[in-house]
Amino acid sequence: MKQILIIGATSAIANACARLWASQGAVFFLVARNAEKLAQTAADLSSRGAGTVHTYAMDVTHLEAHVAMLSACQEALGRIDIALVAHGTLPDQAACEQDAALALREFNLNATATVGLLTQLANQLESQRGGTLAVITSVAGDRGRPSNYLYGSAKAAVSAFCEGLRARLFKVGVHLIDIRPGFVATPMTQGLPLPALLVAQPEVVAKGILAGIERQTNVLYTPAFWTVIMWVVRSIPSVVFKRMSL
């Protein structure tokens, strides 16, 4: 049975992945802030066929809490087959422009905390010489857009960190997949005026993520059509890009 750690386990995307793993009988260690949501998620996964489901309430921005969480996870699971890092927020860009402290808090949550977690997780997977680190970043990290460059820069930081870490871990048989979803219908995007045709359901994205983990994809755009969209977006020269209102 797969042993799976999920950070941000109450996220809609992570939860859709967890349901697929639950039907295969996986054992879980779930981490998020809200204990009640964690308990409801755990009961759901158990009913769907999961093995033991452990939960652990933690705010990822409490960097000093990471060590205790990871050792509780080590004790509960022993070996980690997959660590899915999914926590995140979508900051209010306009508010972040007026409030540097807010901007830094959001950056801290979406980038610094992730870097802290990945640093320690990497060492653990390195010592077990196997397993997969699955990190959800975003297509938003590919280009800094005026409408959400704080979020985008945090995701870009994590992606660059992941690229280097992947090359390091590759040598010891640990795989790192950088997952870049496009628009997904989740609580995070609820109420945003997104183009309906481009918005995917979390279940669809989850299938893509599981397949990417199986295939040991390095950078996964999901759903797949985002590979094309982002190829185009990345190739727009800055002189043009800065004039666009994206």
Q: Are 176 and 161 in contact (CB under 8 A)?
A: no
Q: How far is the CB of 15 from ligand NAP (least distance, A)?
A: 7
Distance of CA 37 to the CA centre of its chain: 18
Q: Which residues bind other proteins (CB under 8 A)?
A: 12, 36-37, 40-41, 43-44, 46-49, 185, 187, 189-194, 196, 199
Q: Which is nearer to other proteins, 192 or 232 (CB)?
A: 192
237: partner contacted, choices ligand NAP, other proteins, none (Cβ within 5-8 A by kind): none
Residue among 77 and 136 whose Cβ is closer to ligand NAP: 136
Q: Which residues here bind ligand NAP, judged by CB under 6 A?
A: 8, 10-13, 32-34, 37, 59-61, 86-89, 109, 136, 138, 181, 183-184, 186-189
How far apart are alpha carbons 51 and 1 in whole angstroms? 8
CB of 54 to other proteins, least distance (A): 18
- Measured from the CB atom, the residue of 163 and 170 that comes closer to ligand NAP is 163
Instruction: State the minimum distance, in angstroms, from the CB of residue 238 to other proteins.
Output: 30
Q: How far apart, in Å, are the Cα atoms of 150 and each of 5, 39, 92, 95?
A: 27, 32, 9, 11
The upper half-sphere exposure of residue 217, i.e. CA atoms within 13 Å in the direction of its Cβ, equals 18
CB atoms within 10 A of CB 181: 24
Q: What whole-number distance in Å separates Cα of residue 166 and Cα of residue 218?
A: 8
The binder of 198, among other proteins, ligand NAP, none, by C-beta within 5 to 8 A per type, is: none
Question: Could you tell which of other proteins, ligand NAP, none binds residue 40, using a CB distance below 5 to 8 A set by kind?
Answer: other proteins
Least distance from other proteins to the Cβ atom of residue 66, Å: 26
Among other proteins, ligand NAP, none, what binds residue 25 when CB lies within 5 to 8 Å by partner kind?
none
Name the residue nearer to ligand NAP (CB basis): 126 or 229.
229
Phi, psi of 81 (to 5 degrees): -80, -45
d(CA 228, CA 110): 25
Query: Nearest approach, Cβ of 209 to ligand NAP (angstroms)?
Result: 10
Examine the residue annotation and report whether 151 is marked as an active-site residue of this protein: yes
When CB distances are held under 5 to 8 angstroms depending on the partner's kind, the choice from other proteins, ligand NAP, none that residue 44 binds is other proteins
Query: Whose CA is closest to 38, among 60, 63, 15?
Result: 15
**Selected catalytic residue, list 56, 149, 151, 221:** 151
φ, ψ at 174 (rounded to 5°): -100, 135
Q: Report the catalytic residues.
A: 151
